Copies of this chain bind each other. A is one copy, B any other.
Amino acid sequence: MQTEKKILITECPDQKGLVAKITAICFKQNLNIIKNSEFVDNLNGRFFMRTELEGDFKNGHLLTELDQALPSGSHSRLVSKGRKKMAVLVTKEAHCLGELLIKSHYGSLDADIVTVIGNHDTLKDLVKKFSIPFHVVDHQGVSREEHERELLQVLSRYEFDYVVLAKYMRILTADFVSSFPSRIINIHHSFLPAFIGAKPYHQAYERGVKIIGATAHFVNNDLDDGPIITQAVIPVDHSYKPEDMAKAGREVEESVLTGALQKVIDEKVIVHGKRTVVFD
């Protein structure tokens, strides 16, 4: 018998006895529960469970049995534990990409970056240091549709679990986004929903804010409005000019993005309408 570690994610309408049902099926399949987390969204009557399992999954009966036992409207999936593959989209700013590259390299982010695609070539040299393929997909002189078509073509050459927008400064169409449902992660230059729009740090400066934030979120239709994964803030004061606020913003952006990605990699994030469940 070969022992593996997998993560079971279950989501279904809430009813009495769900934990008992699901864990009994795991037990019957001779799978050991390493860690279990549930959440019942009482306001919406929905049940979420994340279960780390250890054992022999080869007969493949777990999901079948769950499907039969759980109420209609349930979704279960079984995913492997471990490193995930990422395609990264960038423009010119290096800070988020730099953190992804270095943390992936020394192992504090369990992600392999399979490719980096920029609409400029500014970050090519940085990516090359890590022997990762870099592609320029220039947006100039082509229509948005053509540009995204080329982007999709380059992406199609790689296998990846997630697309990370590491300060990718272009808006993606609903068409593009729908190719990767809940698989595109963006880092937003503000503490959503504050200061949506251009020059957020000038807005923040003018308003005299005392905190600068960042938000990592999934991209669904609207660029800055998808389900939030993680948010954090950093204190600033009156002595910060807009460019100092921007620097503070970069600092909080890079730490929020890497933190959110690790949560996603660990299969701890479940998207649920406009909201997320993020287990510990």
> A residues bordering B, Cβ < 8 Å?
16-20, 23-24, 26-27, 30, 32-43, 94-95, 98-99, 101-103, 105-108, 126, 129-130, 191-195, 206-211, 213, 227-233, 237-239, 241, 247, 250-251, 255, 272, 274-278, 280
Contacts and interface: CB of A to CB of B under 8 A. Distances in A.
Nearest to A16: B32
B238 A276 contact: yes
Contacts of A17: 23, 27
B103 A98 contact: yes
Contact of A233 (B37, B38, B233, B241): B233
Contacts of A107: 94
A255 to B, nearest CB: 7
Contacts of A210: 228-231, 278
Contact of A98 (B26, B105, B237): B105
Contact of A191 (B194, B229, B237): B194
Given A16-B32, A19-B19, A23-B20, A211 B233 contact: yes
A41 to B, nearest CB: 8
A252 B232 CA distance: 15
6 contacts: A20-B27, A94-B107, A98-B106, A191-B211, A237-B278, A239-B280
Contacts of A195: 193
A227 B208 contact: yes
Contact of A102 (B40, B99, B211, B241): B99
Contacts of A103: 98
Contacts of A206: 274-275
Nearest to A128: B129
